Amino acid sequence: MLRGISDKDAGRYRQGNVLIGGASTIAPDAVHLPQEMHALIEWYERSGDMHPVERAAEPHTRFVKILPFIDGNGRTGRLLLNFELMKSGYPPAVIRTQDRQTYYRVLDEARVTGLYDGISMLVAQAVQRTLALYLGLITGGLGGAARP
């Protein structure tokens, strides 16, 4: 995950400013990263009453809007997304190659508007596909018949 990142940058907040390629928003100035991350963690700690898919999708989106690291923010954000889903008993959400442009569009939409319905729906659909795949493998492995 840290391949190609210098030792001085690995595991540390970025020191410079970055642009989000193709996005309509600007990442926070590097000097504000500690406060931005603290605010994200505080929000997360108060979000326990949300549906698990929304509780995974929204902090993922907030995290990738902050872009706290010089590289690997998307991968780290997707790890956080799937960790939250699996912690709640859901399978991971795999964003397929053919859904990548939609993923970027709904991420940008949420970053601009603060509305997370689009990203939450995309994550829910990805979870549903993963679950269908799991169930198909299980029932296929049982000769197509479900066992008690």
Residues of each annotated binding site:
71-78, 103-104
Q: Are 55 and 141 in contact (CB under 8 A)?
A: no
**Which residue bears the tokens 């990203």?**
119
Distances (CA, A) of 17 to 14, 30, 69, 79, 127: 8, 6, 10, 23, 34
Q: Which long-range contacts (CB under 8 A, 24 or more apart) does 40-46 make?
A: 40/66
Residues flagged as binding site for ATP: 71-78, 103-104
Q: Are 135 and 127 in contact (CB under 8 A)?
A: no
